[in-house]
Chain A
Amino acid sequence: EADIYQTPRYLVIGTGKKITLECSQTMGHDKMYWYQQDPGMELHLIHYSYGVNSTEKGDLSSESTVSRIRTEHFPLTLESARPSHTSQYLCASSEWGRGGVYNEQFFGPGTRLTVL
């Protein structure tokens, strides 16, 4: 079944650790996105990708990095986690080109990260 997956769903980790949040989609989409959302606040785009080997920074400055080696996989990495990174991270994907620029974005279930 076509879907978008995020692991882990919840992560509690100590300061200074390296972490990777996984995002995979079987939707066949070219475009993928990472959003950050603090409780009660709006979603902020932190990274996006148009396809393999394409990565761009979003509106919100983030110390995280992303890679896009395969179409279906868009992991987000924090080299040294800090308490300020505590947030919810949402991954999304969309088609590219068909129907215009702003195609529907499909969201994963999210990863709730807590850095102690």
Chain B
Amino acid sequence: AQRVTQPEKLLSVFKGAPVELKCNYSYSGSPELFWYVQYSRQRLQLLLRHISRESIKGFTADLNKGETSFHLKKPFAQEEDSAMYYCALGGSQGNLIFGKGTKLSVKP
């Protein structure tokens, strides 16, 4: 079964602290993974995808096939990073399978 698990519903950190949002997936083939973000009163938008191997707004995510994980990391959190983060897996129908999301709250 194709599935995405985000174990943390809420993650609260202080400004300047490191952040790691966890994502595990279940997929039998070669996965394509994404992180989408939704800031307050804004639309859901793509943050990054694993095949581009880039850093966006200081965030990085590495695909670990052995652990079937795609955790999102940032070394120093900023208040503007506060948002809802969704991990997504490319499904067999060409669609996206989303996790339940993690709400990141960065306190001053």
Contacts and interface: CB of A to CB of B under 8 A. Distances in A.
> Does chain A bind chain B?
yes
A42 B94 contact: no
A102 B32 contact: yes
B9 interface: yes
Contacts of A59: 91, 93, 95, 97
A42 B43 contact: no
B95 A90 contact: no
A105 B96 contact: yes
A40, A101, A106 pick with most chain B CB within 10 angstroms: A101
| Interface of A, helix, strand, loop or mixed by DSSP | loop
A42 B95 contact: no
Interface residues of A, number: 24
A109 B38 CA distance: 11
A42 B86 contact: yes
Contacts of B9: 40
B93 A41 contact: no
Interface residues of B, number: 22
Interface in A86-116: 90, 100-102, 104-110
B98 interface: yes
Given A43-B86, A90-B44, A108-B43, A33 B101 contact: no
Interface string B79-101: 00000001000110111111111
Interface in B1-37: 4, 9, 32, 34
Contacts of A110: 43
Contacts of B91: 45, 59
Given A42-B98, A42-B99, A43-B98, A101 B46 contact: no
B96 A41 contact: no
9 contacts: A40-B100, A43-B96, A45-B96, A45-B97, A48-B95, A101-B94, A107-B44, A109-B43, A110-B43
Interface of A: 31, 33, 35, 40-45, 48, 56, 58-59, 90, 100-102, 104-110
